[in-house]
């Protein structure tokens, strides 16, 4: 994604939301944040997505993650739309704030503008984007989907756990392909075997490779 991207500090914008006005950094505090945009209120894919966010809200909260939605509709529209979302998701409450951005200024500053989709007036639409932001206010991961493809909440939850695992170990571990919570992680090549033994007293596994290089090491954490 061009513009604001991984490693950048999220702008400390003052936003008006369905839960009141606040600055984004104040809302983050010491938490992780999922900041996600949707193309429009009262649209089918977005209705299913925000409903699933509400359903998964407790799981995210348990991991110290707060949710923050965004679209270019106004707050009155959001409040009416929430009734549809909750009606369609088994009654799970939308207890997270949704930013109103009718002037389309915030989506530009947060790099959440769809380069192709436009409304009937020719204005750029919000993309189906999601930033995962750490307690240091930096973007750790970004997803960008086309309007036709809904997000997968299990994948969002999985990558949150991956990012948090890496942060816990100061980026000295990483999660391999198809990793799921509870499975082994790989040890960063920058970590010596001596240091790895201190980090993982229960031991670790080094994979024998044709190159004879000992860079692929697994540990249970």
Which helix (DSSP H) or strand (DSSP E) does residue 128 occupy?
Answer: strand 128-133
Cβ contact 125:39 at 8 Å? yes
- Tell me if residue 72 is catalytic: no
Give, in order, the Cα–Cα distances in Å from 99 to each of 16, 41, 47, 94, 111.
Answer: 6, 12, 15, 13, 15
| Marked catalytic residue, from 10, 46, 72, 82 | 46
Strand-pair partners of 218: 186, 205
What contacts 5, CB < 8 A, 6 or more positions away? 111, 139, 142
Cβ contact 188:173 at 8 Å? yes
CA distance 34 to 60: 9
Strand-pair partners of 37: 70
Q: Which residues form the catalytic set?
A: 46
């Amino acid at each position: 994604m061009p513009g604001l991207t991984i490693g950048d500090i999220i702008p400390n914008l003052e936003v008006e939301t369905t839960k009141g006005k606040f600055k984004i950094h104040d809302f983050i505090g010491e938490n992780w944040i999922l900041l996600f945009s949707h193309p429009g209120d009262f649209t089918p894919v977005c209705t299913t997505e925000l409903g699933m966010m509400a359903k998964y809200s407790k799981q995210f909260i348990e991991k110290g993650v707060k949710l923050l939605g965004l679209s270019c509709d106004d707050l009155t529209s959001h409040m009416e739309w929430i009734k549809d979302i909750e009606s369609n998701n088994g009654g799970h409450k939308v207890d997270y704030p949704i930013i109103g951005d009718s002037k389309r200024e915030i989506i530009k500053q947060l790099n959440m503008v769809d380069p192709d989709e436009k409304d009937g007036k020719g204005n750029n639409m919000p993309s189906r984007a999601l930033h995962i932001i750490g307690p240091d206010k930096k973007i750790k991961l970004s997803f960008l989907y086309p309007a036709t493809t809904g997000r997968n909440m299990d994948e969002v939850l999985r990558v949150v756990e991956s990012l948090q695992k890496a942060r816990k170990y100061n980026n000295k571990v990483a999660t391999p392909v198809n990793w799921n919570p509870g499975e082994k992680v790989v040890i960063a090549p920058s970590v010596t075997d001596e240091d790895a033994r201190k980090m993982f007293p229960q031991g670790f596994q080094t994979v024998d490779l044709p190159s004879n290089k000992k860079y692929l090491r697994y540990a249970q954490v």
